[in-house]
Chains A and B, each alone.
Chain A
Amino acid sequence: MPDELILNKEHLTSFLRKIAREHRLIAPVKNRYGDTLFEEVSCLDDISLDLESRPAMPPTHFLLPQDETLFRYKREDGQYYFSEVLPEVSTVLFGLRSCDLWAIFLLDMVFEQDFKDPFYLNRRSNTILINNPCLEPMKNCFCKSAGSGPFLTEGYDLQFTDLGDRFLVEIGRPKGKALVEKWDYFFVPATNKDKNKQYEAILEAESRFQQVVDLNTASLRFINNEVDETLWEELATRCQGCGACTYVCPTCHCFNIADRPISETEGERIRTKDSCALPGFTRLAGGHNPRQKRSQRIRRRFYHKLAFAKEKYHRSSCVGCGRCVEVCFGHVDMIRVVETICEKAEKRSSAASLQLGEILVNTGLISSEELKTALEKQATTGKPLGTQFIDDGLLTRDEIGRALWHQMNIPSTAETAD
């Protein structure tokens, strides 16, 4: 079976129905109130799959639930008895976005590297990831700036690219392959034409970002101690300490552990989502709190995302999903903070395609003069910049594609997740 296939869109429901019969299927669903959430789908008939909007909570919600039982205990005849609760449901996550998938790769590193967390890893090893790259970035999306999208070259089990009437299906990992092989009659091999269409879609999507967020510069500024510390005091006047930025963040993973009695003789040890935005998060047993002030907590959160992760995992742990931007009560969000840190507040939305130009110039594929000419032409033709280069015969699709993949720079650690 080839690694690139075509699934006719009218077969999508049939394929998902097969999956749902054997696995717990989780997919983005728009409910009757207009909210799109990742939902457990058991019956495909009465739901409305929504591959257009960003689900309110990230899919990592299913790998790290808000409230999770680690084990139960019972006291009988003066003795304690324990029973571990390990999650073992085979799950297929469909309709993921590249940013959220990247978040899962990051969580893999966190829960695998220093201490192997059996609860997370059990869930994870029972999960199959199907990516649906975004063709239309949303208002506050910046995965491109974060280097986590909108398309992936690896890491997924399957990747479904929307080509209008069909999906180009790419097989990434054995678990994805097994899924396709099991119901291979839904699929036909992809042609070169399909591949080209995907390239076009990639280029198009790349040129449509409204947000360009310079995470790299912000990370470096942090690491080099160049951040103006009065910034945090200013942000602290607007932060209300709700913790939502961490609850909706796909890469936030902090938890609290507590014992919760069920009756006089029984109870459970639980872990619940915790947040570095909350004052009790760092309070020590003696009552001292190294991050007593809200400004210190805000700084810590951005330090972790931009600097700590960069040093430990070689990339910032912001994947550019844009969720924190839309929920904050006081507009304390990644885009603003990065912009302030970089002291470059000017939006470069109209210059989004410029970034593609910069990449091409940096990789030496075109000269600055050629870029300038292409941008001038583009202003009149209205074509995406990449298409302009191809039409002018300066570059081929493959060359642009390679330059972009190179830029995305997926680390090898993601491989270990299998």
Chain B
Amino acid sequence: MHRVLTTCCFCACGCNLYLEVEDGKVVGVIPSKQHPIARGNLCVKGWNIFEFVHHKDRLRYPLIRKNGRLEEANWEDALGLIARRLSEIKEKHGPESLGVFSSAKCTNEENYLLMKFTRTVLKTNNIDHCARLCHSPSVIGLGNAFGSSAMTNSIAELAGAEVILVTGSNTTEQHPQIARFIFDALERKAKLIVVDPRRIALSKVANVYLQPRLGTDIIWLNGMMKIIMEEGLHDDSFVSMRTENFQAFTKHLEQFDLEQVESICGIPLEGLRQAARMYASVKRAVIIYSMGITQHVSGTDNVQSIANLAMLTGHVEQEFTGVGPLRGQNNVQGACDMGALPTTLSGYQNVADAGVRKKFERVWKCELPVAPGMTGTDMVHGALDKKIRAMFIMGENPVLSHPDVKTTRNAIERLDFLAVSDIFLTETAELADVVLPAASFAEKDGTFTSTERRVQRVRQAIPPIGSCKADWQIICELSSRMAYLMDYESPAEIMEEIAMLTPIYGGIYHGRLENRWGLFWPCPSRDHPGTPFLHKGSFARGKGHFECVDYRPPAEIPDDEYPFYLTTGRIYQHWHTGSISRRITMLSRDEPDAFVEMNPVDGRRLGVRDGKPVRVISRRGEITVGARLTEAVPEKMVFIPFHFHEAPANILTHDKCDPIARIPEFKVCAVRLEKVQ
């Protein structure tokens, strides 16, 4: 038996772990003790990560649809068919009719190659990935405010904070290692503020817990800032030296009525006052947020509002402070960094900038498309009215992960051609014309970038199973078949090209990642040690920008017909659409079925007992799930995790999006509940 150190493929904490390999099979896992985040432990998903690799459902050979059925095929035919169909459709309907989903589960090298393929071969900027569904508002909001969208500070700095404000993040379940640093901080007498519509585990150890109504974050954020201003707790010198647009902001804030905190948010003003004082009166305070903030029609405004709060109190540009958007997927940070986005090339270099395009064109030796691409949500909508006619999807499952499953499925089915590369036959792959079997994280080399911007190695533990290929090899072969030669010996060679073209990754080479626990970007040159916290002494954009933000209610709120709020999310044991985690014995043993969390009072009203089936109905559709009665949710609000294909929460959600970031409002919609007789 031997062991191979690699990076976990579940969340973006970036734990390093050893895969135990015996006779070419992955048979176990051990966390690294020295790794600064893993620190000798993993979450329950990490501890069981080895099992899916050899699952019998793994795709082992390419599939081509013949007479309506997916049938076994060889690589030659499968790649040939994709190349031919993409070329035909591009020829006939123009490059703008093609769309690409890259994957936050894949490596940086693969994301880079796919975005290169999209722009050089398909000649479109229509590339996006699931960051659209989780942190696109952070990319835009923090980009506007600070000049960079990533976590401003490193995870370990949390342990040194005096006050931590957690909002819209169920940290113990979704980023367990980050919660561990929060507990470390609490050990050192730090104070914790939790603001979340659900009474999450962290709320029980919080010094202040506030429970706002869904989708009312701007109210309490503005309220908190107004209190801070009124009580003179803001950082005058920081604001005047380091930020801009402050006067307009204060003027705007003056009009805010603190009454709304109680009337709209449902938070007692006194509680908010306590939180405001707590957060503003110390030097080292951190804000942690996640999808509870971003997945709203006002997602970008929410993020901007959080940035306002941090700037107002001078809690940025310093160690042990900052704003931490916790990224979901193992490499969602990296997929954004690599430019798997419709408007930026790698390193957030704007496609619209002719100088930038010229730089890439010189290396890529071809002309790049200028028109901005479509976002993921818009591509799905575009497929409905035939603006998008063909898609290549790498390692994503939009049929379950996008809102309003019926519409999404309908859109995907309307495509003239769909190719999917994945490790399992997902709900999306089932609709494809060609399915390519991809290698899992245990079968390939590369890098992932964790939520704290730490770029780390992924190391091959076993050869690809069946006839699987790593996605970077798939892209190379496909590209070469479409008259654009991609010839890389290894992911290390791809990373050399990334470093050359991407200033923030300028000093990141595989060799340099080997004998340390990765490097934090920005790392502009080979001798640069990396940057654990951003904006040291100065924001990336120069001065921090205050934005005036107004409350906008959610797109759909409960009424007489649909009287309950529904919010969706994830649970500890499972991962996204469940294609991996539900195939792991221990995880599916612990959480086998879909459920709806509802308050016991509502349970009594409906006559539903714990564990009994309930029909949940929205304007889009209905699902039947078991009731889980818990006081974690307030009355008149229910929570459903979206992991379960047999009862997809996203049948119920709507596809109204934030106007700027185009993120759907997964966190709020209206439903009706019925007892199943």
A residues apposed to B, CB below 8 Å:
31-37, 39-40, 56-57, 61, 65-67, 237-238, 240-244, 247-248, 256, 258, 260-263, 270, 272, 274, 278-280, 287, 326-331
Contact = CB atoms under 8 A, between A and B. Distances in A.
Nearest to A245: B41
Nearest to A244: B41
A237 B39 contact: no
B554 interface: no
A60 to B, nearest CB: 13
Given A40-B1, A67-B27, A263-B56, A330 B586 contact: no
Contact of B32 (A33, A238, A328): A33
A56 B30 contact: yes
Interface string B13-40: 0001010100000011111111100011
Contacts of A263: 56
In the A-B complex, list the 9 residue pairs whose CB atoms are closest, starting with the nearest: A66-B28, A280-B590, A327-B41, A329-B180, A237-B204, A34-B34, A280-B589, A56-B33, A244-B41
A66 B44 contact: no
Given A37-B18, A238-B183, A241-B572, A66 B176 contact: no
Nearest to B16: A33
A258 B176 contact: no
Nearest to B34: A34
B47 interface: yes
A132 to B, nearest CB: 19
A272 B584 CA distance: 11
A248 B39 CA distance: 13
Interface in B292-313: none
A326 B34 contact: no
A243 B47 contact: yes
A297 B173 CA distance: 18
Contacts of B35: 33
Interface string B38-55: 011111100100110000
Interface in B631-655: none
A328 B3 contact: no
Contacts of A56: 30-33, 40
A292 to B, nearest CB: 10
B583 to A, nearest CB: 10
A256 B586 contact: yes
11 contacts: A31-B5, A237-B205, A241-B44, A244-B31, A262-B56, A263-B56, A274-B586, A279-B591, A280-B591, A326-B33, A326-B39
B172 interface: yes
B158 to A, nearest CB: 13
A261 B28 CA distance: 18
A35 B34 contact: yes
Interface in B612-662: none
Contacts of B490: none
B585 interface: yes
Nearest to A53: B33
A382 B205 CA distance: 44
B536 interface: no
Contacts of A287: 611
B282 to A, nearest CB: 23
B676 interface: no
Given A67-B28, A247-B47, A329-B183, A260 B39 contact: no
Nearest to A262: B56
Given A56-B30, A247-B47, A256-B586, A240 B176 contact: yes
Contact of B44 (A32, A256, A262, A278): A278
Contact of B172 (A34, A61, A240, A244): A240
B179 interface: yes
A289 to B, nearest CB: 10
Contacts of A258: 585, 589
A294 to B, nearest CB: 9
Given A240-B179, A327-B39, 18 more contacts: A31-B5, A33-B5, A33-B32, A39-B2, A66-B50, A238-B205, A242-B42, A242-B176, A244-B47, A247-B47, A262-B56, A272-B585, A272-B586, A278-B586, A278-B590, A279-B590, A279-B591, A331-B183
B205 A327 contact: no
Contacts of B50: 66-67
B10 to A, nearest CB: 12
A35 B32 CA distance: 7
Contacts of B589: 256, 258, 280
B41 A328 contact: yes
B41 A242 contact: yes
B366 interface: no
Contact of B27 (A66, A241, A326): A66
A242 B586 contact: no
B60 to A, nearest CB: 10
Contacts of B172: 240, 329
B247 interface: no
B677 interface: no
Chain A interface main SS type:
loop
A122 B590 CA distance: 31
A31 B4 CA distance: 11
Interface string B116-137: 0000000000000000000000
A21 B463 CA distance: 28
Contacts of A35: 18, 32-34
Contacts of B179: 240, 329
Nearest to B173: A240
B187 interface: yes
Contacts of A330: 180, 183
A276 B220 CA distance: 41
Nearest to A259: B585
Contacts of A274: 586
A130 to B, nearest CB: 19
Nearest to A36: B33
A65 B586 CA distance: 15
Contacts of B591: 279-280
A67 B586 CA distance: 11
Given A35-B32, A262-B56, A278-B590, A242 B47 contact: yes
A237 B201 contact: yes
Contacts of B43: 240, 242
Contacts of B39: 326-327
Given A57-B30, A65-B28, A287-B611, A329 B44 contact: no
B515 interface: yes
Contacts of A256: 585-586, 589
A256 B177 CA distance: 26
A32 to B, nearest CB: 7
Given A56-B40, A67-B50, A33 B183 contact: no
Query: Which of A31, A32, A240, A331 is packed against the most chain B CB atoms within 10 Å?
Result: A240
B456 to A, nearest CB: 12
A321 to B, nearest CB: 13
A377 B146 CA distance: 64
Nearest to B30: A57
Contacts of B51: 67, 272
A93 to B, nearest CB: 14
A61 to B, nearest CB: 8
Interface in B575-616: 585-586, 589-591, 611
Contact of A243 (B18, B44, B177, B611): B44
A217 B201 CA distance: 32
Contacts of B585: 256, 258, 260, 270, 272
A242 B177 CA distance: 11
Nearest to A266: B56
Given A35-B33, A238-B183, A263-B56, A326 B40 contact: yes
A261 B56 contact: yes
A61 B31 CA distance: 13
Nearest to A258: B585
Nearest to A238: B183
Contacts of A331: 183, 187
Contacts of B187: 331
Nearest to B55: A260
A280 B40 CA distance: 24
